[in-house]
């Protein structure tokens, strides 16, 4: 018998380093003849600059990133003779990568839990494929800094790097779950009750710990630093069953956030302590493979990557991998219909055609609204089971998945109709805290853009695949319609959304919408040609902009300096970034200044810390309330009401999106909303009708909500929306309003004030003496909302230019009951109960 191994060894030549040559020599499985142009371009560019430490590779979803990564891995092993580790976010993707390697005859071995690392990996004869969790944990077999000799890798390749951000943070996070360990949870929370009392947030703290509130609150860092020694043994737990993150955090608790929710007490490092994982931190090559997301700053923040190198991402101008997507937003269409009801009918119709139909929602709670037509896959096991069933074509759905914007692939007929409902939310308490703190700022907008793009990408996986995507929900529609948000998406998604907007304008009714969707599913040649031509004309390579990494780089470098004990250097970097003249919003400025205050406090400079925290709170009132409050800064005198409305409308590329945002806001003006939601909605409503507004109430001094009218009137508003109809306004509640008025008069001159309580009725106790105050009863608030809706609808439906819009807006206001000096018509005096 012929010994082919002997013949192969006799003809052995030096292993090639060029990845294109490696591919040329590989046996090709059926269906793979050559590389995509995009793959070849990226591999050639990487080979020329392969010695740089950080490389970002961007290929469209379905553009063949796995093969590119495996060829880079083989090239590195051939050249450096060192192990290479290939990381993927899920077990399913690990399996897919191993199968891809085997099909090409490439040597690859899996990471096996509970067993030593494979010899072929350690000896650089095979790439190891593992999940992120295998490398990033406190008991990692690859080694932890200070815990013995780590495994040195020539390269670490991170597939779906955009998914890794939360996976890696989880490795540096400890959670004490309220349900699983109530005693320890309560002990930890009670360490900080006094701190919340001192910040006048005791009510929020008690409601959160008792489970009556779903907000996420951060423990003030000054209280955390004082109680670390008391918290440490509680976080460690008992016995030998230490959490995976414990070895990474036990000596670094001062570098952490402490967060409380009704579900858990969480400790997570301010930024991942990447240096604690030598296999990654010391690797001479770190390759981040990702879909073409528009913002890569999180790679710098999370992985301590060089911003200059991240900015020089390897991309291709080829359209290979861009799937055909008909992206429609029903709620922005002009005909009158129930968008949710129609969407459910379309889901059912597609599944009846033996085609996959899927809904993505931001939470388990949101999933309930779809369970009358779709089966809810809850938990990782169910999700994996249902995804495999869709792929195997043993089910068509409709299926609904909660917060699964990554990690599920539904190619071909497994998903022909994908519905995304609502803005994607963070899954962890840290993500929810960060989103609430930075609400409205560019940082969170970029994160939302990334998740929306990833969600859209679930339903069509590469060239030749196609899917219809419906974006549902007023918050998502309003977000997409805003010009500043739209610009954060990649050019391919922008092009497909523009196509969808053009198509939507032609849709006349529900039947027309159904037939339009059928044109994509049925492969109508006119649609297919229109999509291909328009995409080719409009997809552009994203311009490089090194300044987009300034904030992320400053935050990461400052954190590293803090961790290394260079406190002054850390604070200086943050202060400089926070006070940059351009490219930073107030939300981010507050975040950076609070981090500087945290560093100063740990350094022992309490006065400097207090000063920085006051500056942080002044910039962003969602930050921690400082121990000594900064002076109040009065709001500017509002301009003309019409100008205020027109300015907001000019920010929307599709004006109906502003109307969707309005509906999202006013949906929270009801007795079932939390006090926090109601007050924020009341402030937002005032702003949307052209007033200057603010939520205040610091230490019981200011009002819940302040409306400044252009006529030099001020509404001092206390919100009692959750009271029962039978309960009148009390003396104590009216006293809060009087205190708020006194505070206002001490900070504003020349205004006429009206004291207002949002209340179920205009009844007050005799002791309240509220005859000179006004009630904005809930039914009158509904009337105000209806009149505002009528005005804004007329403006959004108009075809006027931005220049013409302001004059038209002012004309409509002159005839509207929401004109500032007519708003009193919605008020009634309080009368004795």
125-135 pLDDT tens trace = 999 999 999 99
Say what the pLDDT of residue 5 is: 64
244-287 tens-digit pLDDT: 889 999 999 999 999 999 999 999 999 999 999 999 999 999 99
- Nearest-angstrom CA–CA distance, 87 and 101: 14
pLDDT band for position 501 (cuts 50, 70, 90): confident
Q: Where in the chain is the domain with CATH 3.40.91?
A: 641-832
Which percentage of the chain shows pLDDT scores above 90? 42
Question: Residue 674 burial by CB count (10 A; 0-12/13-18/19+): exposed, middle or buried?
Answer: middle
Give the Å distances, CA to CA, from 718 to 57, 741, 788, 789, 825: 53, 10, 21, 23, 18
pTM confidence score: 0.84
Considering Cα of 211, then 359, then 346, then 486, what sign does the dihedral take?
A: positive
3-state secondary structure of 600: helix
Say what the pLDDT of residue 759 is: 92
Give the Å distances, CA to CA, from 564 to 47, 79, 270, 578: 35, 34, 14, 21
Residue 18: phi and psi, rounded to 5, are -65, 120
3-state secondary structure of 763: strand
The H or E element spanning position 427 is: none
Contacts of 190 (CB under 8 A, 6+ apart): none
C-beta atoms surrounding 380 within 10 Å: 12
Give the Å distances, CA to CA, from 112 to 84, 115, 380, 444, 726: 16, 6, 20, 37, 65
DSSP-derived secondary structure letter, 729 = B
What top-level class would CATH report for the domain 546-619?
Answer: mainly alpha
pLDDT above 70: residue 80: yes
- Nearest-angstrom CA–CA distance, 652 and 796: 10
3-state secondary structure of 368: helix
Instruction: Single out the residue of 543, 555, 38, 554 nearest to residue 294, CA to CA.
Output: 543
Say what the pLDDT of residue 132 is: 94
Show the tokens assigned to 601.
């406090």
Contacts of 232 (CB under 8 A, 6+ apart): 250, 253
Instruction: Single out the residue of 642, 604, 628, 633 nearest to residue 806, CA to CA.
Output: 642
State mean pLDDT over 44-65.
Answer: 86
CA 265 to chain centre: 21
3-state secondary structure of 482: strand
Say what the pLDDT of residue 301 is: 92
- Nearest-angstrom CA–CA distance, 409 and 687: 42
Half-sphere CA count of 458, side-chain side, radius 13 A: 31
Instruction: Single out the residue of 456, 426, 457 nearest to residue 443, CA to CA.
Output: 426
Show the tokens assigned to 192.
């900080």
Half-sphere CA count of 32, side-chain side, radius 13 A: 16
State mean pLDDT over 175-187.
Answer: 92
200-237 tens-digit pLDDT: 888 889 988 998 888 899 999 999 999 999 999 999 87
C-beta atoms surrounding 608 within 10 Å: 17
Say what the pLDDT of residue 265 is: 96
More confident residue, 60 or 600: 600
pLDDT band for position 670 (cuts 50, 70, 90): confident
Angle at 544 between CA 540 and CA 546, to 5 degrees: 160
Say what the pLDDT of residue 234 is: 92
Is domain 641-832 annotated with CATH 3.40.91?
yes
CA 191 to chain centre: 31
Angle at 533 between CA 528 and CA 535, to 5 degrees: 95
Say what the pLDDT of residue 548 is: 78
**Chain-wide mean pLDDT for the chain?**
87
pLDDT above 60: residue 490: yes
Say what the pLDDT of residue 293 is: 64
428-483 tens-digit pLDDT: 889 888 888 888 788 888 888 888 888 888 887 776 788 899 888 888 888 888 88
Contacts of 587 (CB under 8 A, 6+ apart): 437, 438, 439, 440, 441, 442, 443, 444, 619, 620, 622
pLDDT above 90: residue 65: no
Show the tokens assigned to 322.
């861009």
Give the Å distances, CA to CA, from 144 to 98, 121, 139, 277, 346: 26, 18, 7, 5, 52
DSSP-derived secondary structure letter, 140 = -
DSSP-derived secondary structure letter, 118 = P
State mean pLDDT over 379-406.
Answer: 86
Give the Å distances, CA to CA, from 6 to 1, 9, 14, 15, 566: 12, 5, 16, 17, 60
pLDDT above 90: residue 582: no
pLDDT above 90: residue 312: no
Give the Å distances, CA to CA, from 311 to 282, 308, 314, 552, 657: 21, 5, 9, 12, 32
3-state secondary structure of 27: coil
- Nearest-angstrom CA–CA distance, 753 and 708: 9
Say what the pLDDT of residue 592 is: 95
Say what the pLDDT of residue 396 is: 87
Residue 353: phi and psi, rounded to 5, are -85, 10
Bridge partners of residue 713, in order along the sequence: 752
91-135 tens-digit pLDDT: 888 998 999 999 888 999 999 998 999 999 999 999 999 999 999
Is domain 16-169+276-311 annotated with CATH 3.50.50.60?
no
pLDDT band for position 241 (cuts 50, 70, 90): low
Show the tokens assigned to 212.
């009556």
Q: Of 244-248, 523-527, 555-559, which one has max mean pLDDT?
A: 555-559
Q: Of 557-571, 741-755, 767-781, which one has max mean pLDDT?
A: 557-571
3-state secondary structure of 358: strand
pLDDT above 90: residue 177: yes
The answer to whether 389 and 447 are in contact (CB under 8 A) is no
pLDDT band for position 11 (cuts 50, 70, 90): low
324-538 maps to which CATH number? Answer: 3.40.50.300
Among 1-5, 322-326, 342-346, 527-531, which stretch is predicted with the lowest mean pLDDT? 1-5
Show the tokens assigned to 184.
């320890």
3-state secondary structure of 707: strand
pLDDT band for position 24 (cuts 50, 70, 90): confident
Phi/psi-derived region of residue 145, left when phi > 0, alpha when psi is between -120 and 50, beta in every other case: beta
DSSP string, 629-688: PPPP-PPPPP--HHHHHHHHHTTBSSTHHHHHHHHHHHTT-STTS-HHHHHHHHHHHHHH
State mean pLDDT over 757-776.
Answer: 90
3-state secondary structure of 130: strand
Strands 108-110, 54-58: pairing is unpaired
Q: Where in the chain is the domain with CATH 3.40.50.300?
A: 16-169+276-311, 324-538
Helices (H) then strands (E): counts for the chain: 36, 24
pLDDT band for position 711 (cuts 50, 70, 90): confident
Instruction: Single out the residue of 266, 431, 288, 416 nearest to residue 355, CA to CA.
Output: 416
């Amino acid at each position: 018998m012929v010994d082919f191994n002997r013949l192969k060894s006799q003809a052995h030549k030096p292993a090639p380093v060029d990845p294109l040559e490696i591919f040329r020599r590989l046996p090709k499985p059926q269906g793979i003849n050559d590389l995509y142009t995009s793959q070849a371009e990226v591999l050639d560019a990487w080979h020329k600059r392969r010695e740089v430490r950080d490389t970002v590779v961007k290929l469209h979803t379905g553009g063949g990133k796995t093969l590119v990564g495996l060829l880079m891995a083989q090239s590195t092993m051939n050249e450096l003779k060192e192990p290479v580790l290939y990381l993927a976010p899920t077990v399913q993707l690990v399996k897919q990568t191993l199968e891809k390697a085997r099909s090409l005859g490439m040597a690859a071995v899996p990471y096996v839990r509970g067993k030593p690392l494979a010899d072929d990996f350690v000896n650089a004869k095979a790439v190891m494929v593992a999940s992120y969790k295998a490398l990033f944990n406190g008991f990692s077999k690859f080694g932890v800094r200070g815990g013995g000799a780590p495994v040195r890798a020539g390269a670490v390749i991170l597939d779906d790097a955009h998914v890794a951000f939360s996976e890696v943070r989880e490795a540096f996070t400890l959670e004490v779950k309220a349900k699983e360990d109530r005693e320890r949870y309560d002990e930890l929370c009670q360490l900080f009750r006094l701190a919340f009392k001192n910040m006048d947030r005791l009510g929020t703290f008690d409601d959160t710990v008792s489970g009556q509130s779903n907000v996420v609150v951060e423990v003030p860092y000054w209280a955390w630093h004082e109680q670390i020694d008391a918290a440490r043994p509680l976080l460690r737990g008992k016995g030998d069953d230490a959490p995976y993150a414990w070895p990474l955090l036990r000596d670094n608790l001062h570098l952490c956030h402490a967060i409380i929710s009704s579900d858990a007490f969480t400790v997570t490092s301010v930024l991942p302590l990447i240096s604690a994982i030598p296999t990654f931190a010391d690797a001479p090559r770190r390759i981040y493979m990702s879909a073409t997301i528009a913002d890569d700053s999180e790679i710098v923040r999370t992985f301590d990557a060089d911003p200059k190198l991240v900015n020089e991402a390897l991309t291709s101008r080829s359209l290979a991998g861009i799937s055909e997507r008909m992206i429609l937003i029903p709620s922005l269409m002009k005909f009158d219909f129930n968008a949710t009801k129609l969407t459910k009918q379309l889901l059912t119709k597609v599944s009846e055609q033996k085609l996959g139909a899927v809904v993505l929602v931001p939470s388990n709670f949101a999933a309930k609204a779809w369970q009358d037509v779709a089966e809810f896959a809850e938990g990782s096991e169910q999700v994996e089971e249902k995804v495999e069933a869709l792929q195997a074509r043993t089910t068509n759905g409709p299926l609904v998945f909660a917060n699964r914007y990554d990690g599920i692939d539904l190619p071909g007929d497994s998903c022909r109709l994908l519905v995304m409902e609502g803005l994607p939310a963070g899954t962890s308490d840290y993500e929810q805290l960060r989103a609430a703190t930075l609400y409205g700022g560019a940082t969170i907008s970029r994160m939302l853009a990334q998740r929306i793009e990833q969600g859209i990408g679930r339903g069509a996986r590469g060239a030749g695949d196609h899917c219809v995507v419906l974006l549902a929900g007023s918050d998502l529609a309003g977000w997409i319609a805003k010009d500043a948000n739209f610009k954060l998406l990649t050019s391919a998604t922008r092009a497909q959304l523009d196509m969808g907007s053009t198509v939507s304008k032609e849709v006349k009714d529900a039947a027309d919408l159904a037939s339009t969707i059928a044109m994509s599913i049925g492969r109508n040649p006119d649609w297919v040609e229109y999509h291909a031509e328009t995409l080719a004309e409009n997809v552009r390579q994203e311009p490089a902009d090194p300044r987009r990494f300034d904030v992320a780089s400053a935050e990461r470098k400052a954190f590293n300096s803090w961790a290394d004990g260079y406190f002054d250097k850390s604070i200086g970097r943050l202060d400089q970034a926070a006070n940059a003249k351009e490219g930073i919003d107030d939300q981010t400025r507050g975040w950076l200044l609070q981090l500087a205050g945290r560093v100063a406090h740990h350094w022992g400079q309490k006065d400097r810390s207090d000063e920085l925290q006051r500056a942080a709170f002044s910039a962003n009132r969602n930050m921690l309330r400082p121990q000594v409050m900064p002076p109040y800064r009065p709001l500017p005198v509002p301009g003309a009401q019409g100008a205020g409305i027109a300015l907001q409308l000019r920010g929307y590329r599709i004006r109906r999106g502003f109307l969707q945002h309005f509906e999202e806001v006013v949906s929270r003006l009801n007795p079932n909303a939390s006090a926090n939601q109601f007050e924020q909605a009341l402030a937002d409503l005032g702003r949307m009708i052209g007033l200057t507004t603010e939520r205040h109430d610091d230490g019981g001094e200011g009002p819940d909500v302040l409306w400044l009218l252009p006529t030099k009137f001020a509404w001092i508003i206390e919100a009692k929306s959750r009271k029962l109809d039978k309960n009148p306004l009390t003396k104590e509640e009216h006293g809060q309003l009087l205190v708020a008025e006194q505070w206002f008069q001490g900070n504003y001159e020349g205004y006429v004030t009206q004291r207002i309580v949002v209340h179920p009725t205009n009844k007050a106790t005799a002791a309240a003496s509220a005859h000179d105050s006004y009630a904005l009863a809930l039914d009158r608030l509904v009337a105000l909302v209806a009149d505002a809706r009528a005005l804004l609808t007329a403006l959004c439906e108009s075809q006027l230019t931005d220049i013409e819009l302001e004059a038209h807006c002012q004309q409509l206001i002159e005839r509207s009951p929401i004109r500032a000096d007519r708003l009193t018509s919605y008020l009634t005096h309080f009368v004795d109960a």
